[in-house]
Amino acid sequence: MKYFILLLAAGTLFGAEGPHLFYSKSFPGSAPAYVEITLDKTGAVEYREMAGEDNPVKFRLKDSETAEVFQLADKLGHFDHPLDANLKVAFMGTKTFRWEDGASKSEVKFNYSQDPSAQALLDWFERMAESAQRGIELERTVKYDKLGVVRALLLLQVSMDKKRIVGAEQYLPMLDRIIKNESFMHTAQERASEIVEAIRSGKS
């Protein structure tokens, strides 16, 4: 019986490891100049603005969103072929897609791709990056710049209206803090309440 339990636990552990997707964009002169994102099969996202950063922004995609992202990676053959269009276009940053599954790894770098699946996958990662950046800005203003909270909330609402936000539940603790703390402007509290309602009603 103990042997069976150990096997079951090991199977669960190995299943949780599974394949990972890695994305990075290096664009010197932009803000931020570098981002990287990892996504696993459970939908867990980690966002960093420095390679190997110890304290990444973490949130989670829905199961359907995770499945769509991994399906795009499947369509791209887990990045086993070039994606760059090799056209004379403006430099838009060096992007990297990487598939990691245990010892198996494959990656591709590109500036601009005309492949529809590559474009769709890039858009997913860009949405993850924008979602993390909105969270970082909101947390920064809540802690250090209360007058800037209204603007941070407005930017978050704009991103939500444009359907650029994923993993919106990551904002709820910070939004609840704004709503409950009378030291924040009434305008900020009202806007935070609107965003919370949109997230909890599934309208985000």
User: What is the model's pLDDT at position 203?
Assistant: 67
**Does 10 fall in a domain?**
no
The CA radius of gyration of the chain, in Å to the nearest whole number, is: 19
**Does 156 fall in a domain?**
yes
User: What is the model's pLDDT at position 52?
Assistant: 85
What predicted TM-score, i.e. pTM, was given to this entire model?
A: 0.90
**Does 124 fall in a domain?**
yes
Nearest to 59 by CA among 164, 167, 138: 167
Q: What is the DSSP string of 55-87?
A: S-EEEE--HHHHHHHHHHHHHTTTT-S------
Could you give the number of structural domains in the chain?
1
The span from the first CA to the last CA of the chain, in angstroms, equals 47
**Does 126 fall in a domain?**
yes
**Does 8 fall in a domain?**
no
Give 167-178 pLDDT, tens digit per residue: 999 999 999 999
**Does 159 fall in a domain?**
yes
**Does 9 fall in a domain?**
no
**Does 2 fall in a domain?**
no
Helix (H) or strand (E) holding 94: strand 94-101
User: What is the model's pLDDT at position 202?
Assistant: 83
Beta bridge partners of 23: 37, 97
Q: What is the residue type of 22?
A: F
Q: What is the DSSP string of 5-59?
A: HHHHHHHHHHHHH--EEEEEEE-TTSSSSEEEEEEETT-EEEEESSTT-SS-EEE
Beta bridge partners of 98: 22, 107
Structural domain that includes position 176: 18-200
User: What is the model's pLDDT at position 10?
Assistant: 38
Token pair of 104, please?
């198996």
User: What is the model's pLDDT at position 48?
Assistant: 98
Q: Which residues of the chain have pLDDT under 70?
A: 1-16, 203-204
Give 11-32 pLDDT, tens digit per residue: 333 344 789 999 999 999 999 9
